[in-house]
Amino acid sequence: MVSEARIVTGHTVVVVLARFRPDTLAWGILQLILGTRPRQRLPGLLFHKVLGCGRDGGFGIVPGLHRQGLFCLFSSPETANAFVDTARWAQSYRDHAAEHLVLSLQAWSSRGLWSGHAIDVASEAPTDGPIASLTRASIRPHKAFDFWARSPAAEADLARASGCLLAIGLGEAPVLRQATFSLWRSPTDLEAYAHSAGHLAAIRAAYGRHHFSESMFVRFRPLRIEGVWRGRPFPGSLDG
C-alpha cells in the first residue's frame, strides 16, 4: 500500500542511475569530466551533481566506471517531469545505458547542505509505502582513514537489511566526497536499518569525531520510478 501523503509544489529531486555498455563507457566518463558544467538551459534546475560509483555499485573507495549517478534538484514537480520526459540530457543517459533507472522524489525530512544548497521539505511524511534515503558528506581529509575504517559494519547491515529495494554508493570525488542512496519498501524498514548496530556506530563516530565538513541527510517520498536496476524492473508510478 502506498502512502496517501499530500504532494505539494516545491523542490523535486531527480535521481538517474545508469550502467553503461562497454561501447558507451567513454561517454559516461565524459559526463564525469563535464559534471560541473552549468545547465542553465534546463528550466527549473537549481543544482546538479554527476556522481561516480564504487566498484560493482558498492561503497568502497575503488571506483567502478561502468556505473554512474545523476542528482538534479528542480524547483517543482512539473520541471522535474519535463526533464525526465523531454530533456536531451536525460534521454542521452537512456540511450547509452545497458541498465537505467530514474526516480522523481520529494523530501519529507531534510537537514544539512550539499555544496551550500539545501533541499526544502515539499511532502508530508508517509506512514507506509516506499521511501528513499540520501546520506552524503564531505569528509575531512585527516579523518578519512577513521571514517572508512568504520564503514564496513554499516555496509554489512545494509546488505542484510530487510526491505531494502536498492542501495548504491555514489561520490563526487574518491574517498572524500561520498553519498549513499537507497530505496526502501516502507518507513519501518528504513528505521530498522537506521537503528542497526553498525549504522548507529558509524553515525556516532562521524559526529563524535567530527568526520564531516559538510553533510546532508534527506528522506524522500517517490513520485515516480521507471526503469531497471540490477535486473529488477521498477514501476512507473507509485501514486497508488
pLDDT on residue 65: 85
CA distance 115 to 91: 26
- Indicate whether 3 pLDDT > 50: no
Q: Is 40 within a domain?
A: yes
Q: Is 211 within a domain?
A: yes
**31 grid coordinates:** 559526463
pTM attached to this predicted model:
0.87
pLDDT on residue 20: 97
Q: Is 194 within a domain?
A: yes
**Residue among 172, 230, 222, 176 nearest 17 (CA):** 230
pLDDT, tens digit, 9 for 90 and up, residues 199-218: 666 666 556 656 677 889 99
Q: What is the mean pLDDT of the chain?
A: 84
Considering 79-83, 134-138, 177-181, the range whose residues carry the highest mean pLDDT is: 79-83
Q: Is 144 within a domain?
A: yes
- Strands 12-20, 97-112: parallel, antiparallel or unpaired by DSSP? antiparallel
Q: Is 5 within a domain?
A: no
Q: Got the DSSP string for 70-82?
A: EEEEESSHHHHHH
Domain span holding position 90: 12-229
pLDDT on residue 178: 83
Torsion of Cα atoms, 105 then 201 then 164 then 69, to 10°: 50
Q: Is 234 within a domain?
A: no
Q: Is 238 within a domain?
A: no
**212 grid coordinates:** 564531516
Based on the structure, what is the number of domains in the chain?
1
**Residue among 131, 178, 121, 145 nearest 7 (CA):** 121
CATH number at residue 130: 3.30.70.100
Q: Is 116 within a domain?
A: yes
pLDDT level of residue 146 (50, 70, 90 thresholds) = low
